[in-house]
Amino acid sequence: MTKAFGHLIRFVWTYGKGLLFLTSTLTVLLGVMPVIMLWLSKETINEVARLIQHPAMDYSTILLLLLLQFMVTMLTSIFMNTQEYLNGKLTNVLEHAAQSSVLQKVISAPLFYFDLPEFYNHLERVNDSPGHRLLSPLRQAFEIGRIFITISGYLVFLLTVHWSLVLLSLLAAIPMFLVQMKFGKRNFWLKFGLTPLVRDMEYTRSLLKDRHSAKEIRLFGLGSYLLNRWSEAFSHQFTEILKILRKQQRAEIGMDGLTALFYSGAAMIMIWLIQTTPIQIGQFVAIGQAVQGTQGLTNQLSTLLAKVFEEMLYANDFFRFLDYKHPESENQAKGTEPFPAALKKGITLENVTFSYVDTTTSVLQNIQLHIKPGEKIAIVGENGSGKSTLVKCLMGLYPLAKGDIRFDDVSIRQLAPDQLHKNMTVIFQDFLKYAYTLRDNIGFGDITRLEDTDAMNEVAATTGVAEIAQNLREGYATFLGRFLQEGEDLSGGQWQKIALARALFRQGTIIILDEPTAALDPLMELEVYKLVRDLTESKTTIFISHRMAAARMADRIIVMENGRIAESGTHGELMASNGTYARMYESQAQWYA
Shortest Å, Cβ 390 to ligand ATP: 7
**Among residues 88 and 384, whose Cβ is nearest to ligand ATP?**
384
Chain center to CA of 210: 20
3-state secondary structure 473-508: CCHHHCEECCCCCCCECCCHHHHHHHHHHHHHHCCC
Shortest Å, Cβ 493 to ligand ATP: 21
Which is nearest to 572 in space by CA: 591, 552, 590?
552
* Residues lying near ligand ATP in the complex (CB under 6 A): 115, 356, 359, 363, 381, 383-389
- Return the exposure string of 536-575: e unless at least 16 CB atoms fall within 10 Å of the residue's CB, then b: beebbbbbbbbbbbbbbbbebbbbbeebbbebbbebeebb
> How far apart, in whole angstroms, are the C-alpha atoms of residue 424 and residue 513?
11
Shortest Å, Cβ 384 to ligand ATP: 4
Shortest Å, Cβ 352 to ligand ATP: 13
> How far apart, in whole angstroms, are the C-alpha atoms of residue 65 and residue 41?
8
Cα 411 to Cα 194, 343, 509: the distances in Å are: 44, 13, 17
Shortest Å, Cβ 463 to ligand ATP: 24
**Among residues 153 and 386, whose Cβ is nearest to ligand ATP?**
386
**Among residues 231 and 429, whose Cβ is nearest to ligand ATP?**
429
Shortest Å, Cβ 100 to ligand ATP: 27
Shortest Å, Cβ 544 to ligand ATP: 7
**Among residues 111 and 576, whose Cβ is nearest to ligand ATP?**
111
Contact 147, 301 (CB under 8 A): yes
Q: What are phi and psi of 249, to 5 degrees?
A: -65, -35
Q: DSSP string of 519-539?
A: TS-HHHHHHHHHHHHHHTTTS
Shortest Å, Cβ 365 to ligand ATP: 11
**Among residues 322 and 518, whose Cβ is nearest to ligand ATP?**
518
**Among residues 388 and 494, whose Cβ is nearest to ligand ATP?**
388
Bridge partners of 443, per DSSP, are: none
**Among residues 166 and 364, whose Cβ is nearest to ligand ATP?**
364
Cα 377 to Cα 149, 279, 314, 341, 362: the distances in Å are: 75, 100, 50, 21, 23
Shortest Å, Cβ 543 to ligand ATP: 12
Which is nearest to 47 in space by CA: 285, 292, 289?
285
> How far apart, in whole angstroms, are the C-alpha atoms of residue 304 and residue 491?
57
Bridge partners of 557, per DSSP, are: 378, 569
Shortest Å, Cβ 332 to ligand ATP: 16
**Among residues 65 and 499, whose Cβ is nearest to ligand ATP?**
499
> How far apart, in whole angstroms, are the C-alpha atoms of residue 435 and residue 483?
6
Q: DSSP string of 410-465?
A: EETTTB-HHHHHHTEEEE-TT----SSBHHHHHHGGGGGGTT-HHHHHHHHHHHTH
**Among residues 387 and 571, whose Cβ is nearest to ligand ATP?**
387
Shortest Å, Cβ 573 to ligand ATP: 22
Task: Please give the torsion angle defined by the CA atoms of residues 46, 52, 53 and 54, in that order, rounded to the nearest 10 degrees.
Answer: 100
**Among residues 41 and 362, whose Cβ is nearest to ligand ATP?**
362
**Among residues 291 and 363, whose Cβ is nearest to ligand ATP?**
363
> How far apart, in whole angstroms, are the C-alpha atoms of residue 476 and residue 502?
13
**Among residues 295 and 389, whose Cβ is nearest to ligand ATP?**
389
Shortest Å, Cβ 431 to ligand ATP: 14
Q: What are phi and psi of 406, to 5 degrees?
A: -120, 140
